[in-house]
Structure 1
Amino acid sequence: MVEPLPQENRFLEALSNDAWPQPPHQWALESVGLDPEGLIELFDSQLASRHLDLHARRLQARGEAFYTIGSAGHEGNAAIAAALRPTDPAFLHYRDAAFMIQRSRQVPDQTPLWDLLLSFVASAEDPISGGRHKVLGSKALAIPPQTSTIASHLPKAMGAAYGLGLARRLGVAGETPDDSVVLCSFGDASFNHSTAQGALNAAGWAAYQNVPMPLILVCEDNGIGISTPTPDGWIEANMQGRPGFLYLACDGCDLIDTWQTARQAVRLARSRRQPVFLHMRCVRLFGHAGSDAQQAYLSSTQIEASEARDPLLISAGLLRRHGVLDREQIATRYHAMSQRIAELGERAIRRPRLETAEQVMASIVPPRRPSRARDWQGEMEAAPVPMAKGLNQALQRLMQCHPELVMAGQDIGRKGGVYGVTQKLQARFGAHRVIDSLLDEQSILGLGIGLAHHGLVPILEIQFLAYLHNAEDQLRGEAATLSFFSNGQYANPMVVRIAGLGYQKGFGGHFHNDNAIGVLRDIPGLLVACPSNAADAVGLLQEAVRLADEEQRVVVMLEPIALYHQRDLLAEGDQGWCFADPGPQHRLPVGALGQWGEGDELAIVTYGNGVYLSRQAAAQLADEGIELRIIDLRWLTAIDHDAVHRAVVGCERILVVDECRRSGSLSEEVITALVERGVAGERLARLTAEDSFIPLGRAATLTLPSVAGIVARVRQWVKGERSQG
């Protein structure tokens, strides 16, 4: 027999004395639609979850397991799983092992204990994450994996619920039945996070307008967030009567109460297509995680009070009161489960683990899938246009050729976007495909992530780059990580259009002139494109949609606001920055460079506004006999540095013009890559923005590269070397 841990003492004492707490309610099983076999099954799921928690601590003490945040005290969520269908998508709290174990009983050929133990020991054979994290997830069980979620999964659950009806309306065949509901569970501490509040608001905002939102939000309220108590009544006071929501509550320590309340929640959400908030009161046992000593912040009285409400004790009491199992039968099940998990654990620690960087990184990029694009039928406009118009034309084509494309963002529909890029698209394709969202970037990105779970490809718009920063974890922690943590079984393909960068002639200050792109370039697997002209904008956008559709990638289009409507290059009326539509087949693949000029005296490597400024500077320098070439990076991640080297290797000097900040900038990567390829340091220089926010008014461009600054830097460099020669 497995040696008991101190955390088992209370249950073993009750088992020895056959003395169990009285269940809080006295329902008859038949009155709630639960038979004795069903109650035993739920209890077995609870036992399995508890013994996994206990054995994880044993393995951690031996250095064989690495993550012991557990489900002890929350095992009542097994009853919620039983109330749902196994095809209902479930975005789970990290304390929901009993839910996953119970759901696995509804699908043939599942091995949840083995799977979870492989996850505990970070084995490469873990069927969901491949050893990358201890997560609750399963493709067969419709449970996308979540890591240490602190409310970050709520926005995408909201998006997934909204996307159920939308996918059906658009005729996009997904894996989820049309009448499904989406479940999302989280803790009472996470309820207070701004991400959770944003998702709650977005779901209620939609439901208040009678938009279908079949979503069940389960707040597993154990009364404490690590060491910070949740005020008594706080969750209920916030959610009772909240617009758009139906509020239900249950005692999560009582299987029967949880079962019948969960069935009611599912019935309401499925029939009314309305969000339900299920408040499940429970307890937290064993502390927050394996390393947490809760005695440091909880009194012995508080700890004992929680232990007295242990759901395993109450479930055993239910089994005894209803005459379903006797004491010996409960003891047999308890010890047999402990022994089984211990034996499986010994096998699990001998299974292979990730051993190379290549193995770890293998699932950052999702697998490919067939294209769903249709042939475009229409005529192109012949007149050269600025960037905003070129993007608008491309979006019209893409929406026509890809019925699975859905656009969403603030003001993109009726208004046509702040800068007119999405004008008339809603009128043509309908409000269900060009969605005017509420003002909440977390919800916009979460909506897109959720839509992608149903086979849709969202094109999301963030009005200004500065507005992304309060929501960037939806890209970093959710969209870009899903393939990594699911071993490529799940992905969040999307295109995110972000208006940004500087040079708006003083408009808006740093909230509208933002040149901070470091966070986007630091996310593994995320691709960032930045056009400098209308033709490239079309080519990059069309490639971005192809990447999302066929390669399931997350792609950001960083669009320079100052170039949206820029028509002229050197003189007023010259139309030098208008370009003809390159057509529906024009795509600029990742790493493809642009080049202007063939001069070998100097190469300028740049992007976005820097290309426009460098073209103007080149005209002035040409009058002084300085011939140069301009290399447009176009893609700001996954840069093809070999191609950059080939493009500049024959030039005497190389200047990197970077409109973003000097520290942590793109120019650092470009310079480093050239040095690594043998380019001498004295041939290299960079001109960047200062490490500053952008002010308002005429001072707005003082910290940014300028035409005059480029000309002066090149003149000083080239003419200085000429005079020395």
Structure 2
Amino acid sequence: MDRSTIVHENFLRRVAQQDLPAGKAPAGPLSREGAVSLFRSGCLCRALDRTSRKMQEEKQGFYTIGSSGHEGMAAVAAALRPTDMAFLHYRDAAFQIHRASQVPGQSVTWDMLLSFACSAEDPISGGRHKVLGSKILAIPPQTSTIASHLPKAVGAAYSIGLARRHPPEHKVLEDDGIVMCSFGDASSNHSTAQGAFNAAQWTDYQSVPLPLLFVCEDNGIGISTRTPKGWIAATFSARPGLKYFACDGLDIFDTYRVARAAAHYVRTRRKPAFLHIRTIRLYGHAGADVATTYLSRDFVEAEEANDPLLHTVRLLAEAGAATPAESLEIYVETAERVERIAAEAVTRPRLSTAGEVMASIIPPPRACKPTNGPGAEDRARVLGGDLKAMAEPQTMSRLINWALTDLMLDHGEIVMMGEDVGRKGGVYGVTQKLMARFGASRVIDTLLDEQSILGLGLGLAHNGFLPVPEIQFLAYLHNAEDQLRGEAATLPFFSNGQYTNPMVLRIAGLGYQKGFGGHFHNDNSVAVLRDIPGLILACPSNGADAAMMLRECVRLAREEQRLVVFLEPIALYHTRDLHEAGDKGWMTTYPDRSQRVALGEVGIHGDGDDLAIVTFGNGAYLSLQAKRELELLGIATRVIDLRWLSPLPEEAIEKAVAGCKHVLIVDETRRTGGLAESLMALMTERTTIPHVRLCAEDSFIATGPSYAATMPSAEAIVAAARALTGASA
């Protein structure tokens, strides 16, 4: 007999015999009617857990990580408003169930059973995963999160105060709302969680409003690894800037009283708090998990004897809210109702094709107000002397700065954030003057933590802002890439397009910095970004393209709700010359504000038909250097600048190389996992043109004179082109 059946039969027997666990008398502001309502939510949570296991046995259900033992979370839901955004732990079915009871017209039992069955009619994920979540209930969906949702909860809480000063067009959260974020005791040890706690404390220390309630559900175990007794209280009870509250999750009266006090503190003081709830875990980690294989039977049975629903039956009786017989009737009736509804839910249609599964990877567009930029006088006031300089050729870094300025003038919902972006103006000066132009609330100097930077951006997007975070160097992204992969990109996928994370992430990256930094400041790997479904990766090679592409990236995020990464080649930021010193061949003038480079539009330099060089970023710069020498050798050459690295503009590439006798792919990323692998496959599948690739070696980048030794050079491009075309010296 499995443990869920044992717990069920024990409940029936013990309530019938009135053999209930001892505990404190009911006390606090919870009414008798409210207590019965919480019990009903707990019973439904329990019945759904048992039914999910039965559905799995019958191969009609596909997820059995349950919430049994955590039914006290219903009391937390009761203590909050249904408009308070909640980022939930995966054991929080009771929270969502009770929140649904606070909002008219909800069918939470049917909805959750459709989710268990992976039905295409599941109202949150559309059959893609069993997730807790609801647009109406302000619960963005989470999968099996291990603390990855905590940084964006910090960002969402921060956005509430920011929205009072700068209301975005698509504002979601109430001015006096709070954000709640729950997680398990084991997850609290994760570096992502620790970063979020630190970011919250760091923010509060500076007296910045942050209405955030962290909720730690402490069942004492992470799968099979025990949490040391007293660890959570010892580490969180005295943290500066994080008010600590604790309650017994087995006692709905105590939980409601303390959760209500914690919520009141956060809502009125606009400060973060930590609510520590004692819970137990019933049935093991998941349906396939047998707890008695790694825990003693005595321990498992002792936990089961402390069943929170048994405690609630006693509390209801002592409060005069319901007799044990009445409670038992609620429990049995709920279980029978869930079984009846489940029998219908398993008959509903499921996703069956790749197209159906992938339909929500790209979010739906949203209606936006027309862009009414500032008048000429206001723009001149902001830009000052820079306005006159726009008529002269400038470097890429300066044109990006002007593009950001114009975009922030056009769209008040744009907020920039990152380490050093404000007062210092960025590591390379790209964001100079922006804080002076727009203020510290729109150009935010953050703490040194990439997860927190991205989490701030994701959280702001939840409240209608258009975040433009910056990661100083591409190599630093690897500390936080799951915020893009596991949070931002999956959000529209698992919410059927109902929740999105529009963003333009700026990253200074790639190689060729002369004698500086080594592999931490020169990183020529973009594989992790190109591997994320739905993410757009843009990479300009010159200043005019950078400005026009950045405008398109903001349009894509603002109007089409896309997740965009704008990769800026560090080595080209301040590059002036192309062939000889002083020729200023790599400087461009600032393009008219109406000009954009559309997604998928490639750049073509020249019309030669002997050779097409397909490249991007620094490769475009080097290839144009090589082009002059190749044409002196009689090799008529065109250089195709990809601009868009993911998704690859395949049709535009195919059209751009048409009529050429040879194709040389110049890829500054690594041979293994680099862009050239996809480009070689594209040439093979779609053309008959002879083609080869010139790539960087599978190596990290060195500091000093050998900074470019592992990557393509203009000389190497010339040599590869000669070998491919058969041209002699």
Same fold (TM over 0.5): yes
Contact 2:610 2:637 in 1 (8 A): yes
Q: Structure 1 residue 268 and structure 2 residue 265: aligned? A: yes
Deviation at 1:159, TM superposition (A): 0.2
What are structure 1's unaligned runs of at least 5 residues? none
2:536 corresponds to = 527
Say whether the 8 Å CA contact 2:124–2:496 is kept in structure 1: yes
**Aligned equivalent of 1:132, options 110, 128, 133:** 128
Query: Where does residue 368 of structure 2 map in the other structure?
Result: 371
**1:572-583 paired onto structure 2 within 5 Å:** 572-583=581-592
Q: Once the two structures are superposed, what CA deviation does each residue of 1:640-692 show, in whole Å capped at 9, x if it has no partner? A: 21221111121111000000000121111111112111324xx1100000111
Q: Is the 8 A contact 1:93 1:185 kept in 2?
A: yes
Q: Residue 135 of structure 2 aligns to which amino acid in structure 1?
A: K
Alignment partner of 2:63 out of 42, 67, 81: 67
TM alignment of 1:664-675, pairs within 5 A: 664-675=673-684
Question: Match for residue 190 of structure 2?
Answer: 193
Are residue 696 (structure 1) and residue 695 (structure 2) matched? no
1:374 maps to a residue whose letter is N
Are 2:112 and 1:112 aligned?
no
Aligned to 1:123: 119
Aligned partner of 2:656: which letter? A
1:658 equivalent to 2:670? Answer no
The 10-residue stretch of structure 1 (696-705 or 261-270) with the greater mean CA deviation from structure 2? 696-705
Question: What is the CA deviation profile of residues 330-350 of structure 1, one whole-angstrom value per residue up to 9, with x for unaligned ones?
Answer: 221111000000001000000
Residue from 602, 609, 623 that aligns with 1:600: 609
Paired letter, 2:89 = H
1:7 is aligned to 7
Distance 1:35 1:236 in 2: 29
Which of 475, 479, 492 does residue 501 from structure 2 map onto?
Answer: 492
Q: 1:331 aligns with which of 307, 328, 335?
A: 328
CA–CA distance in 1 between the matches of 2:88 and 2:167? 28
- Partner Cα separation in structure 1 for residue 606 and residue 687 of structure 2: 24
1:411 maps to which residue?
420
Query: What do the CA deviations read for 1:495-532 (whole angstroms, capped 9, x no partner)?
Result: 00000000001210100000110010010100000000
Measure how far apart 1:446 and its partner are: 0.4
Following TM superposition, by how much is the alpha carbon of 1:305 offset from its aligned partner in structure 2, in angstroms?
1.7
Q: Which amino acid aligns with 1:258?
A: T
- Conserved in 1, the CA contact under 8 Å of 2:125 and 2:494? yes
- Aligned partner of 1:612 in structure 2 is 621
Distance apart, 1:4 and its partner CA = 8.6
Deviation at 1:620, TM superposition (A): 1.6
> Residue 624 in 1 paired to residue 633 in 2?
yes
SS in 1 for 2:511: coil
Match of 2:384 in 1: none
Which whole-Å deviations, capped at 9, do the CAs of 1:277-325 have from their partners, x for residues lacking one? 0000110010000011111110011111211221111001111222322
CA shift at 1:622, angstroms? Answer: 1.9
Letter of the structure 2 residue corresponding to residue 579 of structure 1: T
Counterpart of 2:383 in structure 1 is none
Aligned partner of 2:473 in structure 1 is 464
The residue correspondences of 1:627-642 to structure 2 (distance < 5 A) are 627-642=636-651
How many angstroms apart in 2 are the aligned matches of 1:155 and 1:325? 42
Deviation at 1:699, TM superposition (A): 1.6
2:523 is matched with 514
- CA shift for structure 1 position 327: 2.6
Tell me whether 164-173 or 402-411 shows the greater mean CA deviation. 164-173
Assess if the C-alpha contact under 8 Å between 2:116 and 2:130 holds in 1.
Answer: yes
Shift of 1:376: 4.4
SS at match of 1:390: helix
CA shift for structure 1 position 428: 0.9
CA distance in 2, matches of 1:4, 1:630: 66
> In the alignment, which of 206, 209, 212 is matched to residue 209 of structure 1?
206
Inter-partner Cα distance in structure 2 for 1:242 and 1:679: 65
Q: How does 1:287-326 map to 2 (within 5 A)?
A: 287-326=284-323
Corresponding residue of 1:342: 339
The letter of the residue matching 1:12 is: L
Matched residue count: 714
What is the 5 A alignment of 1:707-718?
707-718=714-725
| Amino acid in structure 2 at the alignment position of 1:485 | F
423, 427, 434: which one aligns with 1:425: 434
What is aligned with 1:250? 247
- 1:26 equivalent to 2:25? Answer yes
Letter in 1 for 2:240: P
CA contact (8 A) 2:314 2:324 kept: no
Separation of aligned partners in 1, 2:88 and 2:426: 35
What amino acid does structure 2 have at the position aligned with 1:88? Answer: D
Structure 1 distance, partners of 2:13, 2:198, is: 46
Return 373-382 or 496-505, whichever deviates more.
373-382
Whether the 8 Å contact between 1:613 and 1:706 is mirrored in structure 2 is yes
CA distance in 1, matches of 2:358, 2:538: 22
| CA shift in 2, pair 1:702/1:576, >3 Å | same
In structure 1, what is the equivalent of residue 227 of structure 2?
230
Say which SS state the counterpart of residue 705 (structure 2) adopts. Answer: helix
Q: Deviations over 1:426-456 (max 9, x none)?
A: 0110000000000000000000000001110
3-state SS of 2:217 partner? strand
Q: Distance in 2 between matches of 1:219 and 1:328?
A: 33
Correspondence for 1:705: 712
Does residue 47 (structure 1) correspond to residue 46 (structure 2)? The answer is: no
Stretch of structure 1 that moved more, 469-478 or 236-245? 236-245
The Cα RMSD (Å) is: 1.3
CA distance in 1, matches of 2:367, 2:472: 31
Which letter maps to 1:692? S
Q: Would you say the 8 A contact 2:26–2:318 is kept in 1?
A: no
Superposition TM-score, scaled by structure 2 size: 0.97
Query: Residue 605 of structure 1 contacts residue 630 of structure 1 at CA under 8 Å; is this kept in 2?
Result: yes
In 2, the alpha carbon distance for the partners of 1:56 and 1:229 equals: 26
The alpha carbon displacement at 1:717 in A equals: 2.6
Q: Is residue 25–residue 315 contact of structure 2 (8 Å, CA) maintained in 1? A: no
Identity, % of aligned positions: 58
Q: Is the 8 A contact 1:641 1:674 kept in 2?
A: no
| Secondary structure of 2:114's aligned partner | helix
Take 2:548 and 2:303, find their aligned partners in 1: how far apart are those partners?
Answer: 60
8 Å CA contact 2:26–2:319 kept in 1: the answer is no
| Letter of the structure 2 residue corresponding to residue 622 of structure 1 | E
- Report 1:537-576 matches (<5 A): 537-576=546-585
> Aligned letter for 1:687?
L
**Given that residues 76 and 255 in structure 1 are in contact (C-alpha distance below 8 angstroms), is that contact kept between their aligned partners in structure 2?**
yes
Offset of residue 483 of structure 1: 0.6
1:163-182 alignment runs, 5 A limit? 163-173=159-169, 174-182=171-179
CA distance in 2, matches of 1:122, 1:580: 54
Secondary structure at 1:64 match in 2: coil
1:90-109 → structure 2 map (5 Å cutoff): 90-109=86-105
Is residue 590–residue 638 contact of structure 1 (8 Å, CA) maintained in 2? Answer: no
Superimposed CA distance per residue, residues 178-198 of structure 1 (whole angstroms, 9 cap, x where no aligned partner): 000000000001001110001
Q: Which 5+ residue runs of structure 2 have no aligned equivalent?
A: 381-386
User: 1:366·1:553 contact (CA, 8 Å) conserved in 2?
Assistant: yes
Q: In 1, Cα distance between the equivalents of 2:217 and 2:464?
A: 30
TM-score (norm 1): 0.97
2:605 and 2:471 mapped to 1: Cα distance? 31
2:276 matched residue in structure 1: 279
